[in-house]
Amino acid sequence: MVAVTLWSSLTRFTDGAREVEVQADTVGGVLDGLVADYPGLKPILDSGVSVVVDGEVAPNRHAPVPEGAEVYLMQRLKGG
Amino acid sequence: MRYHTPSSFEDAARLAAQAQGLTRFLAGGTDVLVQMRAGMVQPDDLIDLKKIPGVGDITRTDEGGWRIGVAVPGAALSAHDALRAEWPGVVEGMDLVGSVQIQGRATLTGNLCNGSPAADSVPGLVAAGATVEITGPEGTRTAPVAEIPAGPGKTSLQAGEVISAILLPPRGAHGGDAYLRFIPRTEMDIAVVGCAVNLRLSGDTVAEAQVALGAVAPVIRLVPEAAEAIIGTTLDEAALQALDAAARAACSPIDDKRGTVAFRTEVAGVLARRAALIAYGRAKGDTA
Amino acid sequence: MSKIHVTTTVNGDPVEFLADPRETLLDCLRDHLGLTGSKEGCGTGDCGACSVTLDDRLVCSCLVLGVEAEGRRVDTIEGMADADGLHPLQRKFIEHAALQCGFCTPGLLVAAKALLVQNPDPTEEEVRYGLAGNLCRCTGYDKIVRAVMDAAAEMRQEAA
Amino acid sequence: MAKDEFKEFRLVGTRPDRPDGLDKVTGRARYGADISAPGMLWGAVVRSPHAHARIVSIDTSRAEALEGVKAVVTRADFPTGLTGEDWDLQENTMAGERALYDGHAVAAVAATSKLRAEEAARLIDVTYEVLPHVIDVDDAIKPDAPVIREGAADATVPEGMPPNVVRYMEFGHGNVEAGFAEADLVREGHYKTEATHQGYIEPHACLGQLGGDGKGEMWVCTQGQWFIRKMCAGVLGLDAAQLRVTPSEIGGGFGGKTTIFMEPLSLALSRKAGGKPVKIVMTRSEVLRATGPTASASMDVRIGMKKDGTLTAARAEFRMQGGAFPGSPVDMALYCAFAPYKLDHVAHVGYDVLANRPKCAAYRAPGSPMGAFAVESLIDEMCRELGLDPMEVRLKNAVREGDRASYGPKFASIGLVETLEATRAHPNLAEPLGPNQGRGVASGYWFNHNGETSVSLAISEDGTAQVSIGTPDIGGSRASIALMTAETLGIPYEDVRVNVVETGALGVNEPTHGSRATFASGKAAVLAAGQAITEMCRRAAAEWGIEPEAVEWVDGAAQPAGPNAGKFPPMSIAEIAGKMGETGGPISGHHESVPEGVGASFGCHVVDVEVDPETGRVTILRYLVVQDAGRAIHPAYVEGQYQGGAAQGIGWALNEAYIYDDKGRLQNPVFLDYRVPVASDLPMIDTVIVEVPNPGHPYGVRGVGETGITPPLPAIANAIQDATGARLRALPMNPPAVLAALKAARGA
């Protein structure tokens, strides 16, 4: 299991939980797991988010998420 | 659009008088081309004055003043040492209009005829008591520069009339003038406030003075109350404060993208004081 | 609207073109003569990207009508380097990294050349005010000012 | 590569001439408007003069009757049924039922000359029914505000919010109330910033061609040719692969050229004109009215501080409007706001709000400058109140590697402490100040970005190398990528040519944005070069008849290693390349990925100002930028990014702003009144490049392009207070605003 920290306005879709646990070992698995457990998150995740694993923005869905990793969901990052 | 290059002011006036649609004269072009480009003005006839003999000349008048051709660009005005030595305030007013590139084209006459209350070169001319020579269907007349502006974008020139020269009076002894303007940047802006002071000293005392303000009313104009505040003084602190107050009292500005009423009014007083000090110094012989 | 035949000299070469009298010199240089080195950044004389000299006087070519070039001499960025190589200003701009996107560069070079003709030994302040009509959004002007002053120093040395 | 493994490099860190320098100083470089095509038409766009209006009718008959007019398009010529960002882009590039801002395109025309197209545009008669409008972000969330678009809110917006709130966010950690209770001083402030424009000197320009077969071509000035392709294809319902987009040289972008404006119009006009190419070049006024400026912001910040300067808690609530569409960078603003500070208790709330303004685009560190203006201003005020040195407070609370960032995750390698220490040691801080002069300090942060990246490298027959990249070169990235490639291959810098290529030549690339070109394309080029090296070693091994693993690449040549060392003379890249046709064919290398290991960049600026007490004019006397570059590949262009960012921030702080009248019309759509700094407004901009190498990049690169625009806004506000005692909490701090603040501070 990995613990995923959401931005807290998403807690409306997670029964109030700021941090949720999903069974996954990749970034894609985390995202799919979140949608499976909390379908209300789907439109937000589909519109694009950045997944930060142990302080690094994950480059793709297949990036590994080690057991016990710290996973943060952030609004999609880009720049000027 | 028809493009004309008359070879005399009489021809230019005739072309303008006969034109059916919208007519514009082209001196430097720095305002007309911008307005055309923005679609604000689509002239049917454009009358280029630059092919008329003498429009690029600066000459001494019989009275000892100056005759400045309508197509003399700012750069040529600034490069004229004798004119600059006598009327530094007039020259620096023109020199503040735009960049070096603009100075290569923009003219005193164009700046005046554009009718902007913020025109940098006009307060200096007004304070100097300059006049313009006007050629029209009825012949030639002269009028004070101060009578030309008639509100934002407007002049008092009649249809078919064209300014054929700007005339500066003789400088005379113990005189000095100065122009200051306030802009947010250091260059390239339109004046938020402008102030010209022209004065003559008798010893250390201001004997004559003219103060003109720009960008604080629909037209650039003389402020006799401001002049009176310093006439008969040695421009001591009390006189400067009186000048500041009189300049502020003469303001009836607007709030717009370039400044607020409060700011324009306050800074008009500040510039009047600062310009008066420079003009005073020049009348005393400062060359800066 | 009928066009006007214009005969003029650009970078030393005689050229002719047909201009609608509403077209600017910049339009004519770019669209009729294929000289696209002069740029349009504003069309109102505020950015200097279209700087050229007209009978040796620095102007914004967006504020000159094409028909006004009749019988005059126009010099543009395309004429700045000669067969022997780059003008010192051009070399110094590259050397000092005085350009990033490069769009303002032609106008700045033409303006800087005109500045150094007028004033071969300008102070930093004189360079800054002399080039105030040329906007650059990339560099903050620091390296441009250094390049112009370095080129001026080199040109003075060569002249000496 | 760990920090201590860095050695002196042969090329990285040197300052050679940029490869495109000659083209750019001679006028030969071809920008967006510089290309023409046979049979080309010119396009012109009709734009709404109203901030908000229903489009009752569009009569194109007078325009169509004009000789030389070949096509007129309106929204009716675009496909229907789009959703999401595709619909937003379509609606923004061509208004549908309503014009949503002053400048919104409502029709476009193509004709045989520029003047004719402009004339035809004036002959298109649009009937509008003017609707109530709203410009200010705080007004837009008032109960009586005109509703820009019903149902535009996404799932994050709770029930009951004002209808112009389209995105909502909350995040943070700890317990801020408990944190404030620990503080000796708790202060809060309200701050506002006005929208500004990127102000690139090159107006948008494109030459588009689209045939009835759905195949098209485009030449365009853009930060990202694949974005143009994807967006145009989406808006027009085309197959992306049928559209080939070639980027011109680009005359500045700063984020503003990462999206589409008139590009789909040129394609739609071309298709309607029988496939003739159509060139559209925006005027400056169109650029300012109708492209993508940044957001305006209204911000409340509350901070708790102990007497020794330790921060105990912080809370920010930001409201930003990004025009008539969702997408203001309020999220990024919140993420960056407290990023330089270690905070156990922090809370953020953000609202993305619609208003009748153009759809905002990215602008250099989107959002970060606004957030920094609020937070860095308030921290400075609190330092003053407690008599603390603002540099020491920043150091005391500085985040380090492994610390939890204010926005959640833990920081990887960062160089904030090193940056602050270099700032503190700089001689500018010891310069004496005179009357009416003051000094201000502020920090800034940007994440930097990786993004989809595809690079291809090919070895030429003579042993030189060409690198094809997909990120347009805005500020010298060809030079930095050539340096890294040449360093890796062991060949001279001059032997590498870097080409920015069209969409048909590489896999998808994100634009040059997020400070990513030197990081991402650079990393990909290095990895592609590594692939080519592996192949060259293999070819040498085959010639020598030894195992490829027994060959190493040293100084631009393959040489036998291990037990074979010295058995054969090194085989140079030129020798290998010269025989490649006989040894297996072309030698190349590729890299496609979203590169890992982005390195964030902190900066700290110090500004000295002088304030004219009678006019409120602020003069910048001295300016210092200190920023962590990771490693400066070409230091001159790193300095250039620092200086350029600072200059833009100075403009934003002092004079740049979108000014609207009471009808919602933009009052300053020209450079005369949209006042970007001119040369005489600025001093030399001193720079210090701090190098805390990014372990995620083969040469240690962090992006450097964006952070520099962030600190100037608060640094100048802080300096003005230092000089005068007056605190300005709204931008721009132009002379009227400063003079009013001075008078208020004097009690006049």
Contact of B40 with chain C, judged by CB distance below 8 Å, is answered with no
β-bridge mates for residue D505, sequence order: none
Asked if B192 and D735 come within 8 Å (Cβ–Cβ), the reply is yes
CB-count burial class (<10 Å; 0-12, 13-18, 19+) for C3: middle
Q: What is the 3-state secondary structure (H, E, C) of D286-340?
A: HHHHHCCCCCEEEEEEEEEECCCCCEEEEEEEEEEECCCCCCCCHHHHHHHHCCC
The pLDDT value given to residue B288? 55
β-bridge mates for residue D206, sequence order: D220, D280
Asked if D614 and B182 come within 8 Å (Cβ–Cβ), the reply is no
The 10s digit of each residue's pLDDT in B178-206 is 999 999 999 999 999 999 999 999 999 99
- Report field, pTM of the whole predicted structure over 0.90: yes
Asked if C62 and B37 come within 8 Å (Cβ–Cβ), the reply is yes
Q: Using CA coordinates, name the residue in chain D closest to A58.
A: D596
Q: Within 10 A of D179 (CB to CB), how many other CB atoms are there?
A: 22
The pLDDT value given to residue D2? 40
Last residue of a domain, one of D593, D618, D653: D593
* CATH class of domain segment(s) C4-79: alpha beta
Buried b or exposed e, range C86-115, using 16+ CB within 10 angstroms = bbbbbbbbbbbbbbbbbbbbbbbbbbbbbb
Long-range interactions of C115-119: CB distance < 8 A, separation 24+: C115/B100, C115/C148, C116/C89, C116/C148, C116/C151, C116/C152, C116/C155, C117/C56
Q: Chain centroid to CA D558: how far? A: 41
D667 and D532 within one domain: no
D688 and D617 within one domain: yes
Q: Using CA coordinates, name the residue in chain B closest to D741.
A: B263
Share above pLDDT 90 across residues of chain C, in percent, rounded to a whole number: 96
The pLDDT value given to residue A55? 86
Contact of D672 with chain B, judged by CB distance below 8 Å, is answered with yes
Chains A and B contact (Cβ–Cβ under 8 Å for 3 or more pairs): no
- Residue-wise DSSP of D446-471: E------EEEEEEE-TTS-EEEEESS
Give me B109's structure tokens: 């006459």
D457 and D443 within one domain: no
CATH architecture of A2-75: Roll (3.10)
Domain count, chain D: 2
D578 and D485 within one domain: yes
Residue D659: which of B188, B192, B257 has the nearest Cβ?
A: B257
The pLDDT value given to residue D149? 94
List of chain C residues whose C-beta atoms are within 8 Å of the C-beta of residue D22: 86, 94
Asked if B37 and C24 come within 8 Å (Cβ–Cβ), the reply is yes
CATH architecture of C88-159: Orthogonal Bundle (1.10)
The pLDDT value given to residue C145? 98
The residue ranges of chain D whose pLDDT is under 50 are: 1-4
In angstroms, the CA B227 to CA D474 distance is: 55
D488 and D444 within one domain: no
Asked if D26 and C31 come within 8 Å (Cβ–Cβ), the reply is no
Domain ranges of chain C: 4-79, 88-159
Asked if D366 and A40 come within 8 Å (Cβ–Cβ), the reply is no
Residues 6+ apart with CB under 8 A from C119: C126, C130
Fold observed for domain B175-283: Enolase-like; domain 1 (3.30.390)
Q: Within 10 A of C137 (CB to CB), how many other CB atoms are there?
A: 27
D622 and D582 within one domain: no
Contact of A60 with chain D, judged by CB distance below 8 Å, is answered with yes
D400 and D414 within one domain: yes
Domain ranges of chain B: 175-283
The pLDDT value given to residue B281? 97
CATH code of the domain containing D566: 3.30.365.10
Asked if B100 and C22 come within 8 Å (Cβ–Cβ), the reply is no
List of chain C residues whose C-beta atoms are within 8 Å of the C-beta of residue B50: 68
Asked if C100 and D671 come within 8 Å (Cβ–Cβ), the reply is no
What average pLDDT does range C116-143 have in this prediction?
A: 98
Over chain C, what is the mean pLDDT?
97
Residue D655: which of B39, B185, B187 has the nearest Cβ?
A: B185
Which of the residues A56, A60, A62 would you substitute to probe the D interface, choosing the one with the greatest number of D C-beta atoms within 10 Å? A56
List of chain D residues whose C-beta atoms are within 8 Å of the C-beta of residue B192: 735
The 10s digit of each residue's pLDDT in C1-11 is 589 999 999 99
Chains A and C contact (Cβ–Cβ under 8 Å for 3 or more pairs): no
D631 and D522 within one domain: no
List of chain C residues whose C-beta atoms are within 8 Å of the C-beta of residue B30: 45, 63
In angstroms, the CA B144 to CA B119 distance is: 16
Cβ–Cβ < 8 Å for D293, D361: yes
Residues 6+ apart with CB under 8 A from C91: C85, C151
D549 and D464 within one domain: yes
Contact of A20 with chain D, judged by CB distance below 8 Å, is answered with no
What average pLDDT does range C81-106 have in this prediction?
A: 96
D440 and D463 within one domain: no
pLDDT tens for the 288 residues of chain B, in order: 999 999 999 999 999 999 989 999 999 999 999 999 888 889 999 999 999 999 999 999 999 999 999 999 999 999 999 999 999 999 999 999 999 999 999 999 999 999 999 999 999 999 999 999 999 999 999 999 999 999 999 999 999 999 999 999 999 999 999 999 999 999 999 999 999 999 999 999 999 999 999 999 999 989 999 999 999 999 999 999 999 999 999 999 999 999 999 999 999 999 999 999 999 999 999 765
The 10s digit of each residue's pLDDT in C135-154 is 999 999 999 999 999 999 99
Asked if D171 and A8 come within 8 Å (Cβ–Cβ), the reply is yes
Domain ranges of chain A: 2-75
Domain of D437 in residue numbering reads as 367-448+599-746
Buried b or exposed e, range D211-234, using 16+ CB within 10 angstroms = eeeeebbbbbbbbbbbbbbbbbbb
Q: Among candidates A5, A14, A80, A16, which has minimal Cα distance to A49?
A: A5
- Cα angle: D445, vertex D448, D453; to 5 degrees: 175
The pLDDT value given to residue D748? 57
